[in-house]
Structure 1
Amino acid sequence: MSRVSRQLSIHFYTKGFKGIKHDEILTEISNQIDINKVGSIQITEKDCIVSLKDVESKDKLVVNGITVRNRSVNFFDVEKSITHVTIKDAPYELDDCYIGTQMLRFGQVVPGSVKRGYIKGTDIENGARYLDILNCESVLPLRTSLGRFEVRLFADNNRTPCFHCKLTGHPSYQCKDRPKILNERRCYNCAAIGHLANACPNEPYCSYCNIKGHPRRDYCDNDTLFEDGKNDTANTVNILIGASNCTRLGETDEKVINASKSGANFENFPQSLDLAAQKSDSHKVDKVAICLGSNDISKHKDDCDQINLLVTKAVAQVKSAYPESHVGLCSIIPRKGNSAQINRLNQSATNVNKFIRKLCAREDNVDFVDLEKLFYRNGTIIRSMFDKADNSGVHISIEGTRVYCMRTIAKSLRVTTCYIRSKHKSLLYINKMSLKIASINVNGLRNNQKRALVFNWIVSQNIDLVCLQETHCTHDETGLWNREWKENGGGESFWNCGTNDSRGVGILLRKDFTHCFDISMIDNNGRIQIGEIKTNTAVYHIINLYTPNNGSDRKHFFENLKNLNDLYADDSTDHYNVFLGDFNCALDRKLDRAPSHQNEDTGLKELKSLLLKFELDVIWRSKFPTNRRYSFQRGNSKSRIDYIFCTKSLSCKISNTRIFTFPFSDHDIVTSKIKLDDIERGPGMWIMNLNTIKTDEFSNAFKTFWEIG
């Protein structure tokens, strides 16, 4: 019975047609075809299936459709004649003809349909094969064998069963028998299954380095790049081999040996390897990062084949000297300049980088670290990355060295901080100065179990500062909530209370939050909370808002926000505003609502006026001007009403703006990362802070001066 054909059966989905009857459908079908051509009409939980007696009647219904309850309905084939099959884990060397022959057991393979999958933008295969099968078996196995090789099968047309219940008709992620995620959650303190961190009876344990005494958080002192499962790291070191740009990194960490030397290249690589051997002494080497190539490009210019040969030899020499080590091979960075000679050298570097990428894909235990793209923006070299005093365009600046540090050292050798040598300062310390912020409407936290789950989930996301709205927190519970947040792995917490069934906002800081933070203002209604982050050169105002649902209240709320004049009490430093929260107002009635509204939301005019007064930029929309992504859904109504706004001059420091699912509310979470690096001041154009001239003090002083004049 597996070969039963359903080529004359068509269907449409019955969602939205509650209580639909067979008579209604038959009446509408009779307007298109002779009812004697209808074999059966079946109404299931999800769709209505119509089986016909000839192809002509089927084609007419598919083309014309029917009208049910004043709505147009289109028919689709219940079962397609061709099934598209994806084969995973098939060996690269396995011939396409052999695969086609083996798959004949499941049906007739369409000639010429066997294709190979490739990594996007490259000629490197990803191990997948694709083919089409005519009159396929009703159910394909999840796993099968092609000769002596076991592969996985995935197919459309309801041919692949769910691996939870072994039935077809639904994907695995929608299966009712799917295990609950809560049962699989691990404790963030001891990594065990069966309890959460707030009720953990065990000693802290890091599942990453298998060492007790500390839980696994954002990073671990024994963190590694390649995650190869090695646990014996007590006597291991990592080696960095580079040229002049890497020498500026200095001594990065006691676990990292910088064997870089000015003028080093792949041609004289044995000398660099000898230097690494001398410095590593008797220590076991875990990883080797190679950042060379610029000097080879200068010497060999267009002779890319010679450089490719030298790179291959260098990798072989490292694997011979350190057979148990992993190798990180960095791409060659471009040069600054627009001359014909520099463009030719950059083209050679690009060609060599393509070879390095393929070499890393081919070699075992060799990973590719792409540095080339970090020095480009929109196809143009980022000149600020390079040393202005270097006419050759090879040597990078302090900012470029920071990129080298964060992407080469911190990524390839997993060092959290490092020292960078500067000719202006004897030693410049670069620390992590980025701030990951988030806004979540939690829709109430009074339930003890939900509160514990939310706190655990937030800790797992490694967010530095989280603004919460609609917490329903009261003054009697702030002490308990503070204690629970810390017990679940958090740091300090600040609350502005509402009632036990409405309003309330809060700010949560992660445990290792290192910036200077304090609350500067709250309102009396549990809707506004303003905090300050102070650095050496600027003050960042974090303004957490929960806007009223009522239109008239929302309008007055935005009007009152314009009176926040005390944010700039200190004019001697730069001030940046970050507004975030649930604004209960869509900025664009077409892009930010589904279905779209005819009229704009009440209070939108006042909100836009607020954005104009504080010179705020809409972060997510500026990154995705035409995208539709909603942060709130209730029933069939969707909208984007949760925002992060920031001062326009801060926009260039904002990255990684995302909206993604928050599993404990009908609102999604909105996140961004702000770069707080202190800027090294120097000669350049001075720009006046326009907020200064808007103050009453400046206005009165200016009028007095003008009258005197």
Structure 2
Amino acid sequence: MDKDVEAMCRKMTNDRIKRLIEGLHGVDTEYNSELKTQNQNKEKMASYSEALSGKNNNTEQNNDNDVTTNDTNDNHPNSTSASASNSSNFVKPIFLKDSDVHGSVKPERSMWITNVEIYKAVGEKVPAECIKGIQRIREMWRIYMDNEEDKLSLLVQGINLRGRQVALHSQNPHNPSNLLQPDTIRIKVKNVPLSADDGQIHRALTLQGCNIQAFSRERLRIDGKVTNCETGDRLVISKLLEKSIPRNLQIGKYLARIFHSGQPEFQGRPNLVSYEGVKKCHKCLKPGHVMYNCPNDWVCRICNISGHKMIDCPTEHTDS
């Protein structure tokens, strides 16, 4: 032993010597593990003939191990693959009302719609394996898809159920949150027959730049109550538009009339009642109060007659 090393060893305590020996053993272990890894890598290398044939026994064994590992991860509740499969949970459902099929008359229990019927009807429009769930809650069906593309396709096409074409709803029709939001606009579509497919209206408005949030058919209101009788007008809630939609729009073979705030025809209308410095009601057009406290009926800004809104004015909507 070198004299200098021997002198250092004599000065070291027993604890230090033990730690030194343990450290040397650790280096040996790491060195041996590196050699083992290198040997394993050499074993994984394919020969020239194996490379040409695309086969490698060691690689195939490793692939089998990978498959086993993936199966284990799939069964694990916190695995990454399970999290990925749950990404479709963010696709919001589409809605179907029982009354869309049965009308206002409540059918007998034997005539109720079943989830099997809906599953088959949806499967005729989109791949059935894309259906995640079908649930009925209080006369309202929720249909869950695993991707936005098939969901949009269903909203455009609707489904054939019990011999009739049924439109689906992008939002819950009974939910108050469907009311206009600050970043949305209401659009009314007229002069398209009731028998016409809503899908072609949806497509035509989308091509005009509409980001449609809700689509419904207007129903006749009598004595303040909504009936099951449709007026033929379609009501659309869309995100704010970058440019206005033309008043006359070709939808299929029909020349539809489109009405929404911001159109040049509406912007050019003079304000029929103007009082500087005094609050004016936008409902009855009279000063001294605001719309939320208005006891009067609507007054049209076009014909100045009470009983309807400007957007529903029969004078304006009559084709020349």
TM-score, structure 2 length as denominator? Answer: 0.27
Which one has the bigger strand percentage?
A: 1
Which one has the bigger helix percentage?
A: 2
Structure number with greater Rg is 2
* Higher RCO, Cα 8 Å, sep 6+: 2
